[in-house]
Amino acid sequence: MIVHMTLRKGETAEDEFKRYDAEKQDTKCHPLEWWKVNESKFPRVAALAREYLAAPATSATVERLFSSVGLVKTDDRPRLKDSTLVDIMWVKENVFE
């Protein structure tokens, strides 16, 4: 499906977000349906919604993380606390990659 998206001339992303934020939301409408109808009004915000409302097509990311945890938490480290493991994994995912 191709949707014609128009950016308002001279409008910043912040201006668009303010318009979106001021829009009265229909709480009974499914979010994906709402975006289908309103995508052309808020093209930048719609791009963010697509990124964050979409379900991943694969579980590979989760499987990769689970595998990484298995490499860190081994029988050689029986006293490794869960909180320390979380910290190690956070550093691995956010600093080294």
Express each pLDDT in 60-96 by its tens digit: 888 888 898 998 999 999 899 999 999 998 998 888 7
Amino acid identity of residue 60, one-letter, is A
pLDDT at 40: 92
Indicate the pLDDT class of residue 38, thresholds 50, 70 and 90. Answer: very high
* DSSP letter (8 states) at residue 25: P
**Are 29 and 57 in contact, with CB atoms under 8 Å apart?**
no
Q: What's the pTM?
A: 0.50
